[in-house]
Amino acid sequence: MELTAKQLAKILGGTVDGDPAAKVTSFAKIEHGKPGYLSFFANPKYEKYVYTCKSSILLVNKDFVPKHEVSATMIRVDNSYEAISQLLKYAASRKRESIGLRGWRLSVFLSPKFGKGVRVGKGSFVGRGARVGEKTRIYENVYIGDGTRIGKNCIIYPGVVIYPGMVIGDNVILHANVVIGADGFGNVPQPDGTWEKIEHLGNVIIGDNCEIGAGSAIDRSEMESTIIGKGVKIDKLCAIGHNVVIGDNTVMAAQCGISGSTKIGKNCILAGQVGIAGHLTIADNTIIGGQAGVIGNIKESGQKVIGSPAIPISNYFRSYAVFRRAGLNKDGEEK
């Protein structure tokens, strides 16, 4: 990517303060800037770097008034943080456009239906009766099972496995080694102490505009569907059990585990390493703190909980104060 300050200002709807012909080819944090790179300034804590930054172009807010001389060409925008996000998205889309049907003769297609502009990397398999929407990009060594439906403008990164019969919406991103549709963890104890596997014949339905992080797994249901709502963002190494329903625009950080048949509402936030027991209902707009263990229903919308077992955050910190005092001697030092 090579763009001038003038071109960038046009893309971002900003104005140039400096040399409109200044060029950049990549990005760098403001403290690591160097010639030919673009940086941005949004957090006031980093203002000192504005005056030492070596980047050729610097994105700043329109109302920024420098206290010292700035060597970089500045592009003034309404919100520099949003502008850099927009620009990174633009650069990523340009990069993906360069991906062709590399090595497609080494891939296996069993009569799928491809929309216009679909691109597939070598070593991938697309099963019988599968449908892939236009402009979807499938990287190398991907498995897509029979009868699976994938929407438009999706990105399927290397090593992804999508079992037969799954349904994936438009604009979905599946990062490397995601597994969609493996059997859930369903087993019945037998009189002799062994376990009998429960077969899973259902599927997974993923809504539009979702993103699933590397190494995460979403299990199919036994008879119906595991459902991931629209706009859901799941970080890496998360495990979603069978029959789970996750509401629209819910997000979860890395290493979360959701047990089977739990229903999570819309617009919830799960911090890292949250664990939720099975067959529970979590209300809309719930915020669950890191490493929390949820073992009961959360019925009221908008609650914030933390701890294991998880309790309302205000109760948790009052309880923690008691635990903390119990561990101190009369001089306030740890025992």
**Which residues, in sequence order, are CB contacts of 182 under 8 Å at separation 6+?**
161, 163, 217, 219, 220
Between strands 187-189 and 195-197, the pairing is: antiparallel
Pair 232, 249: CB distance under 8 Å: yes
Residue 200 annotated as catalytic: no
Q: Cα 160–171–93 angle (5° rounding)?
A: 90
CB count, 10 Å around CB of 165?
A: 19
What token pair was written down for 304? 């914030």
Between strands 293-294 and 304-306, the pairing is: unpaired
What is the residue whose two structure tokens read 């439906």? Answer: 149
CB count, 10 Å around CB of 112?
A: 20
CB count, 10 Å around CB of 153?
A: 19
In angstroms, the CA 31 to CA 117 distance is 40
Pair 38, 56: CB distance under 8 Å: yes
Query: How many helices and strands in the chain, by DSSP H and E?
Result: 4, 39
| 264 bridge partner residues | 246, 282
What token pair was written down for 289? 């703190």
Pair 204, 226: CB distance under 8 Å: yes
Selected catalytic residue, list 68, 175, 242, 279:
242
Q: What DSSP string runs through 71-119? A: -SEEEEES-HHHHHHHHHHHHHHHHHHT---TTGGGSEESS-EEPTT-E
What token pair was written down for 260? 């089977």
Residues marked active site are found at: 242
